Chains A and B, each alone.
Chain A
Amino acid sequence: MAILVDRALEDEDEDDTGRSWRGRVSARQRRETAVGWAFMLPDAIGLMIFVVLPIIVALAVAFFSIDGFGQARFVGLDNFVRMGSDPLLVNSLAVTLIYAGCYVPLVFVAGLALALLVQRPFPGIGIVRTLFFLPNVMSLVVIAILWQFMLTDKTGFVPRGLSTVGLGDISWLGNPTYALAAIIMISVWFQAGYQMLLFLGGLGDIPNEYHDAAKLDGAGWWQRLFWITLPLLKPTSFFIAVTSIIGAVTGMQAFDLVFVLTKGGPANSTMTMPFYIYQQAFSYNDYGYAAALTTLLVGVLVLAVGVTFAATKGARFHAE
């Protein structure tokens, strides 16, 4: 608005050639550019210090053997070569891919379902939306402890509830068959409310006229979902898919849950890549190998996001 106003004022001073206007705007643009940079600089510096620099350092550290007590030795590609004979790496990669492969679609569907459920106004909608979003405002550590109580073998709320249908003996956090599934379900439960909010924003941007016209043409709820809602939600869906993939691969949700609930067990069944990297660095003091693993993880992440971008033609949904 301020720019529009300024420009409107300047229009009054413009001569026939427009020279005066351009000269004044040029000076103004320089000042505004400077102010713009001043606003962006803190963020840019933060990104440089806390994101770009660590990435560069991590890559460099991957070529060293570092013990965490100030001793470092250049080892070339040894840390990368070691990956080829590390069975736990294969295990943790598989766990991460299974986690991401299940978590991303599940949280997408859950978030969308919740958004569709609370899209139309009804009495108490504010409370319902708040309840759905509530898990997301809590600390993941608190969430983990809460679920630890609920999933306790034999006496937890969930096993006791399931005992009525003969499934009370399942150890959700102590059996390798179920532990990762439990972590995935808790992650979805935690994050679905946030995805719901994003979907609600996307749904709000879809004009009602489309649905009304479709209704007049006799389209049912499912037909309108698949032929109107989902196509017009593509930008939102893309954003959610990309951020979910990043969250799943880097372990934003999974790390805290794994740390509190299972420590990578039972029998390494929840040993995600981020947790394995953490263990190498902080339990085994092998910072060089941890950095090499991080480089691999970033590669996997770039590949996954790249595939997503390629599949959506660079996220251009309205260019066709």
Chain B
Amino acid sequence: MPSIETACEVRVSENRILRPGVSRRTLLQGLGLATFALPILGACSTGAPAGGGGGNGKKLSFWNFYGDSGNGEPQSEWFIKLVKDWNANNDVQVDLRYIPNADYMSGTTLQTAFTAGTGPDIFLVSPGDFLRYANGGVLYDLSSAVNDAQIADFSGSVLDTRMVDGKLLGLPMEVEPLALYYSIDAFEKAGLSEGDVPQTWDQLLSVGEKLTTDKQFGLVLETTPGYYQNFTWYPFMWMAGGEVVDPSGKAVFDSRANHSALQLWGDLTAAGVTPRKNQGTGGGDVPGNMGAGYCAMQQSGIWAVAELDQKVPDYNYSVAPLPIPAGGKASTDMGGWAFCANAKGANPEAAAKFVAWAIAGQDADGIERMRQWNSVVKTNVPTRTSVSEAVKSAGTWDSGPLKIFAEEIAPAGRPEPRFPPQVYQPISDALQAVQLGGTDAATAAGTAQAALETFLAGYSGGAII
């Protein structure tokens, strides 16, 4: 510690440096005030990030998990072009905001925006999440934005799962049936031929065992809990004759059919045919699993055809319908996302107009745009007859995996169920318990049945089936 005299000199010296006009104390007080004031001023700022929700009606925000991702991938580029084409001819502009798929599907970005009243004007919704938003009252009725001819162009029942009480709450951009992908090279290496591709559940297990080695699994199924995993399991339930709820809305999950479908997934895990934890981004990622040699067969959707073509172009593979149980019937789950408009947005009419133009446009550009989406930048079954015809005319379905999807797999498909979270959660718990926890299928189904009955007894939202 310095002496008093030395200290005095120090203070005088310091004050000289700070003078004239600014004493040390004044400086400290000023710093304190600035520290206090700056965050407050910052908080009062009205600036909003580009692409944020809660637009002003002249600029619509469009949140999605494709573009602009900045990676130059074809699907991202398709979204960028879509918005560019719209903006070139309309006063109300659309602004893309990219949210990575994992965050979009199970993160907080979208949900917290809606909770804060700043949800996007336009966004994508999966059937697995549809009723959550529909029951929340944020899906705008698109009926007024599309005419009868446009409605009639949508094939089969693709609009049914987007209807609630006669209102059209989304326009589907794609149909994504599930299939069994298999590596031709892996089959040959195991001494098997394409004639050995499993057609029954028993064969799935036995062939899967033959294909399993110390470095490769026989089959990859989804293992991460959530509505996507349920989506991939429902075909097995349907093939065995099971359902979650009957047409009257009564829970019928605890059935022998469902026990057998649950048990199949448990048996495949117990036999070591399927991994308990997949590579890449999960069971839907064929390049990251089968394409990387992690497995010989994989259940995934039609989107993987384009992904394999883009990421592993020389991969030697084919697809087959999902194997059926003894006495069962072929089925698959037809997923696919839909464009939706925010009913609580600043300009839902304009958002609906954009959605109708993007997905249901019937001019040559509109059909070509959807042909590109469904058969060039991504592979899907188109939702519209006119687009399907354009795809056929281009020869896209004439050969290879897409021919099998179009002719053998999709015709047996059912639309993906639009169960609300309180319905898909007990199913997910049952599936996880049997597949990875080794729980008896009947016990797991019984627990799920009880939870479903409790929920359905008090449910008052949009029709579940």
Asked if residues B114 and A38 are in contact (CB atoms below 8 Å), the reply is no
Q: B35-71 toward A: CB 8 Å interface, digit per residue (1/0)?
A: 1100110000000000000000000000000000000
Tell me whether B392 is interfacial, beta carbon within 8 Å: no
Q: A267-B436, A284-B425 are in contact. Are A39 and B35 (CB under 8 A)?
A: yes
List the B side residues contacting A264 at CB < 8 Å. Answer: 225
Distance, CA A35 to CA B26, complexed state (A)? 10
Distance, CA A6 to CA B7, complexed state (A)? 9
Tell me whether B233 is interfacial, beta carbon within 8 Å: no
Segment with Cβ contacts to A, from B134-142, B146-154, B156-164, B353-361: B134-142
Distance, CA A205 to CA B114, complexed state (A)? 52
Asked if residues B136 and A67 are in contact (CB atoms below 8 Å), the reply is yes
How far apart are B53's CB and chain A's nearest CB, in angstroms?
13
Segment with Cβ contacts to B, from A13-21, A124-132, A167-175, A190-198: A167-175
Asked if residues B226 and A263 are in contact (CB atoms below 8 Å), the reply is yes
Asked if residues B275 and A9 are in contact (CB atoms below 8 Å), the reply is no
Asked if residues A153 and B276 are in contact (CB atoms below 8 Å), the reply is yes
Asked if residues A38 and B7 are in contact (CB atoms below 8 Å), the reply is no
Q: B415-455 toward A: CB 8 Å interface, digit per residue (1/0)?
A: 00000011001000100110111010000000000000000
List the B side residues contacting A268 at CB < 8 Å. Answer: 225, 429, 432
How far apart are A35's CB and chain B's nearest CB, in angstroms?
5
Tell me whether A221 is interfacial, beta carbon within 8 Å: no
List the B residue with the shortest CB-CB distance to A34. B29
Is the interface on chain B under 10, 10 to 19, 20 to 34, or 35 or more residues?
35 or more
Asked if residues B36 and A42 are in contact (CB atoms below 8 Å), the reply is yes
Tell me whether B316 is interfacial, beta carbon within 8 Å: no
Tell me whether B106 is interfacial, beta carbon within 8 Å: yes
Asked if residues B8 and A265 are in contact (CB atoms below 8 Å), the reply is no
Pick the contact of B223 from A8, A42, A266, A282 — CB < 8 Å? Answer: A266
List the B side residues contacting A35 at CB < 8 Å. Answer: 25, 28-29, 32
How far apart are A28's CB and chain B's nearest CB, in angstroms?
9
Distance, CA A8 to CA B277, complexed state (A)? 70
List the B side residues contacting A283 at CB < 8 Å. Answer: 106, 226, 421
Tell me whether B112 is interfacial, beta carbon within 8 Å: yes
Tell me whether B214 is interfacial, beta carbon within 8 Å: yes
Residues of A within 8 A of B (CB): 2, 4-6, 8-9, 11, 31, 34-35, 38-39, 41-42, 45-46, 67-71, 88, 151-155, 163, 168-169, 171-176, 262-269, 278, 282-285, 287
Q: A8-B4, A39-B32 are in contact. Are A31 and B275 (CB under 8 A)?
A: no
Distance, CA A68 to CA B432, complexed state (A)? 27
Asked if residues B114 and A4 are in contact (CB atoms below 8 Å), the reply is no
How far apart are B80's CB and chain A's nearest CB, in angstroms?
27
How far apart are B12's CB and chain A's nearest CB, in angstroms?
10
Asked if residues B436 and A175 are in contact (CB atoms below 8 Å), the reply is yes
List the A side residues contacting B10 at CB < 8 Å. Answer: 5
Tell me whether B224 is interfacial, beta carbon within 8 Å: yes
Distance, CA A34 to CA B36, complexed state (A)? 12
Tell me whether B215 is interfacial, beta carbon within 8 Å: yes
How far apart are A278's CB and chain B's nearest CB, in angstroms?
8
Distance, CA A31 to CA B8, complexed state (A)? 21
Asked if residues B294 and A155 are in contact (CB atoms below 8 Å), the reply is yes
Q: A5-B7, A154-B214, A265-B436 are in contact. Are A284 and B36 (CB under 8 A)?
A: no
Distance, CA A264 to CA B425, complexed state (A)? 12
Pick the contact of A171 from B1, B117, B276, B432 — CB < 8 Å? Answer: B276
Pick the contact of A69 from B24, B136, B275 — CB < 8 Å? Answer: B136
How far apart are A290's CB and chain B's nearest CB, in angstroms?
11
List the B side residues contacting A168 at CB < 8 Å. Answer: 214
User: Among the interface residues A4, A6, A285, A287, which one has the most CB atoms of the partner chain B within 10 A?
Assistant: A285
* Chain A to chain B contacts (Cβ below 8 Å), 23 pairs: A5-B7, A8-B4, A8-B7, A9-B11, A35-B29, A39-B35, A67-B136, A69-B133, A69-B344, A151-B277, A153-B217, A154-B275, A155-B215, A169-B272, A174-B223, A174-B277, A265-B432, A266-B437, A267-B433, A267-B437, A268-B225, A282-B107, A282-B111
User: Among the interface residues A31, A171, A262, which one has the most CB atoms of the partner chain B within 10 A?
Assistant: A171
Asked if residues B437 and A176 are in contact (CB atoms below 8 Å), the reply is yes
Tell me whether B115 is interfacial, beta carbon within 8 Å: yes
Asked if residues A68 and B276 are in contact (CB atoms below 8 Å), the reply is no
Pick the contact of A285 from B106, B275, B277, B421 — CB < 8 Å? Answer: B421
Asked if residues A153 and B277 are in contact (CB atoms below 8 Å), the reply is yes
List the B residue with the shortest CB-CB distance to A267. B437
List the B side residues contacting A34 at CB < 8 Å. Answer: 29
Distance, CA A41 to CA B437, complexed state (A)? 52
Distance, CA A151 to CA B272, complexed state (A)? 16
Distance, CA A170 to CA B132, complexed state (A)? 37
Distance, CA A69 to CA B138, complexed state (A)? 7
Asked if residues A266 and B272 are in contact (CB atoms below 8 Å), the reply is no
